[in-house]
Amino acid sequence: MIDWSLSRRGLMGAALPIAFGFGNSAQAAPSGAVATILAFCRAGQARDLETQMSYIPENGIYHNMPDAPIVGKPAIRELLSGYLTNSDATEIIVKNIAEAKPGLVLTERVDRFRRNGKWIDCPVMGAAEVENGKIKHWRDYYDVLFLRAQMS
């Protein structure tokens, strides 16, 4: 299994370039739906909200379980913008990524946020449905109690 790692840095300091390791030289760079998800994350690392939003269709859905789904491009823009303003640094460590079936990308990640000098880690399992190069439905599953305990 290929293990891609990437990180997204926050406001403090320049974004680091993402380097992808593909195991051996015979393996090709990701394409299709996996490439879309990785590009979305790269844009997040660059803190480029406009590029991130270019991957979201007008009727897109962004669903952080167990919260209610965020529906529509304007609401998703507000959510993603909040991630940029509510922390001074962010890392997204993709441990594993796979296309389970055409257009369905699964990611095992650790999302890290630095707020007030303290890092908060959130292990996440994500499922994203990609259609025509757009993320039509993003779902993240995580332990909200574990996350809240770190924030107190």
The full set of domains in the chain, from first to last, is 32-151 (3.10.450.50)
- Sorted by sequence, the CB contacts under 8 Å of residue 101 that are 6+ apart come out as none
Query: 21 and 99 in contact (C-beta within 8 Å)?
Result: no
Residue 12 has pLDDT above 70, yes or no: no
Q: Sheet containing 61-64: which strands, arranged edge to edge?
A: 70-71, 61-64, 134-141, 118-131, 104-115, 89-101
Query: 79 and 55 in contact (C-beta within 8 Å)?
Result: no
Each residue of 48-66: pLDDT tens digit? 899 999 999 999 999 998 8
Of 9 and 84, more confident: 84
pTM: 0.78
Angle of CA points 12, 16, 21, to nearest 5°: 150
Q: Give the chain's end-to-end CA distance (angstroms, integer).
A: 37
